[in-house]
Structure 1
Amino acid sequence: MAYEQLEVRVENKVGLIKMSRPDIRNAMVPELRRELHEALAQMEQDDQVNVLVLTGDGKAFCAGGDLGGMNRKIDAVTGRKRLLQSHELIRTILRLEKPVIAAVNGAAAGAGFSVALACDMIFAARSSFFVQSFVNVGLVPDLGAVHFLTSLLGPHRAKELMFTGDRVSAEKAQELGVVNRVMNDESLMEEVGAIAEKMAKGPAISMGLTKAMVNRSILGQLHDTFEIEAFAQGLCFETEDFREGVKAFFEKRAPQFSGR
């Protein structure tokens, strides 16, 4: 299948999916999100793929949601529907009975951070960083970020990242337990490729079932979280704070939130 937003290839039982919109820092525009979902579904059915690697092209892993597409009024019903559609991407990553490795080559912001968290392992370039940027535009964390971060960090540290929107370096993310390993920028894909190929030679069925068992044990509340998240984000899309946040983002200034 030909993709316009992605680079996809399979070699030595390892499937590589690279988000290839460096011009927009691999932001989750609808076309990229749709193709990513399709590529993951295709890899799920491919018996020649035992392990997947997800990465980005250019200076970002994924800069998050499509703020350009949000630079217009979105009502609560449309916002909820938009989120529920995006949740299918996360559900597919979690459902795959194959390890999915995030090779974070640069910024993982907002929804991009959430996608990385949904993967089974995260390896990060030394110059990369992670940021829960939703608060900076008056939104709630989405694509399961509340669930994943709270499970990993506990409520207090998770809230700190989500309330402040501060950048977290790759080294700090490893210290917190978000990242498995930090690697030099120039060797990231080579090292991740070697790890993926080693895993791909292992017993695919048992690894897939192990993933399913782990996810079943920790994701019991995720579906409820998705529904609450979609409702909350739909409401946030209608606020003055959201419109001010997006406007300030494009005007490259600090937002002036009013609490309305």
Structure 2
Amino acid sequence: MAYEQLQVHVENKVGWIKMCRPDIRNAMIPELRRELHTALAQLDQDDQVNVLVLTGDGKAFCAGGDLGGMNRKIDAVTGRKKLLQSHELIRTLLRLEKPVIAAVNGAAAGAGFSVALACDMIVAAKSSFFVQSFVNVGLVPDLGAVHFLTSLLGPHRAKELMFTGERVTADKALELGVVNRVIDDEGFLTEVGAIAEKLAKGPAISMGLTKAMVNRSILSQLHDTFEMEAFAQGLCFETEDFREGVTAFFEKRSPRFSGR
């Protein structure tokens, strides 16, 4: 299949998926999300692929949601529907019976951070960073971020990151246990490829079933999280704070939230 938003190729039993919209920092626009979902499903069915690597083109892994598409009024019903569609991407990442490595080459912000968390391993470039940026535009964390971060960090540290929108460097993320490894920018993807190829030489069925067992409880718990997310985000889309947050983002200034 020909992709417009992605580059997809297979090498040494590793399926590589690169998000290729550096002009928008690989933001999760609907077209990119749909192609990503399709590519994951196709590589899952490819017997010549044992491991997948997801990365981004340019200076960002994924800058999060499509704020350009949100620069207009969104009602709660539309917002809920939009989010439920995005949830399928996370479910797919968790259901694939093949390891998925997030090769975080740059900024992983908002939904981009959530997508990385849904992968099985996160390998980060030295210059990359992670940020729960939802609060900066008056939204709640979505795509499972509340579940993943609370499980990894505990409630207090997770809430700190989500309340403050603080940037977390790759080294700090390693210290916190969010990422598996940090690699120098020079030769980053070569090193990621070596990790992926080592996994690809392992017993594919065994690793796939191990992933399925680990993720079984995650999938059951995420159902309730996703329902609450969709409800809460739908409400946030209708607030003045959300509209102010998006306006401030495009005007490159600090938002002036009113609590309305």
Shift of 1:186: 1.3
| Worse overlay, 28-37 or 209-218 | 209-218
RMSD of aligned Cα (Å): 0.6
C-alpha distance in 2 between matches for 1:216 and 1:30? 27
How many residues matched?
Answer: 260
Name 2:80's counterpart in structure 1.
80
1:125 matched to 2:164? The reply is: no
Paired residues of 2:26 and 2:57 also in contact (CA < 8 A): yes
- Superposed counterparts of 1:35-50, under 5 Å: 35-50=35-50
C-alpha distance in 1 between matches for 2:179 and 2:26? 20
With structure 2 as the length reference, what TM-score do the two structures score? 0.99
Name 1:68's counterpart in structure 2.
68
C-alpha distance in 2 between matches for 1:228 and 1:122? 26
User: 2:68 aligns to what SS in structure 1?
Assistant: coil
Name 1:233's counterpart in structure 2.
233
Shift of 1:188: 1.3
Name 1:97's counterpart in structure 2.
97
Shift of 1:187: 1.7
C-alpha distance in 1 between matches for 2:73 and 2:159? 28
Name 2:22's counterpart in structure 1.
22
Name 1:245's counterpart in structure 2.
245
Paired residues of 2:102 and 2:123 also in contact (CA < 8 A): yes
Name 2:164's counterpart in structure 1.
164
Name 1:203's counterpart in structure 2.
203
User: 1:65 aligns to what SS in structure 2?
Assistant: coil
Runs of at least 5 residues in structure 1 that lack an aligned partner in the other structure = none
Q: Deviations over 1:38-68 (max 9, x none)?
A: 1001111111110000000000000000000
Shift of 1:233: 0.3
C-alpha distance in 2 between matches for 1:173 and 1:100? 19
Q: Deviations over 1:155-182 (max 9, x none)?
A: 0000000000010000000000000000
Q: Deviations over 1:23-43 (max 9, x none)?
A: 000001111111001100111
C-alpha distance in 2 between matches for 1:75 and 1:217? 32
C-alpha distance in 1 between matches for 2:37 and 2:210? 23
Name 1:57's counterpart in structure 2.
57
Q: Deviations over 1:73-96 (max 9, x none)?
A: 000000000000000000000000
User: 2:206 aligns to what SS in structure 1?
Assistant: helix
With structure 1 as the length reference, what TM-score do the two structures score? 0.99
Shift of 1:217: 3.4
User: 1:55 aligns to what SS in structure 2?
Assistant: strand
| Worse overlay, 14-23 or 209-218 | 209-218
Off by >2 Å, runs of 4+ in structure 1? 217-220
C-alpha distance in 2 between matches for 1:217 and 1:137? 31
Name 1:142's counterpart in structure 2.
142
Paired residues of 2:91 and 2:219 also in contact (CA < 8 A): no
User: 1:221 aligns to what SS in structure 2?
Assistant: helix
C-alpha distance in 2 between matches for 1:158 and 1:238? 25
Paired residues of 2:94 and 2:219 also in contact (CA < 8 A): no
Paired residues of 2:144 and 2:226 also in contact (CA < 8 A): yes
C-alpha distance in 1 between matches for 2:143 and 2:25? 18
Name 1:177's counterpart in structure 2.
177
User: 2:65 aligns to what SS in structure 1?
Assistant: coil
Shift of 1:218: 3.8
Name 1:188's counterpart in structure 2.
188
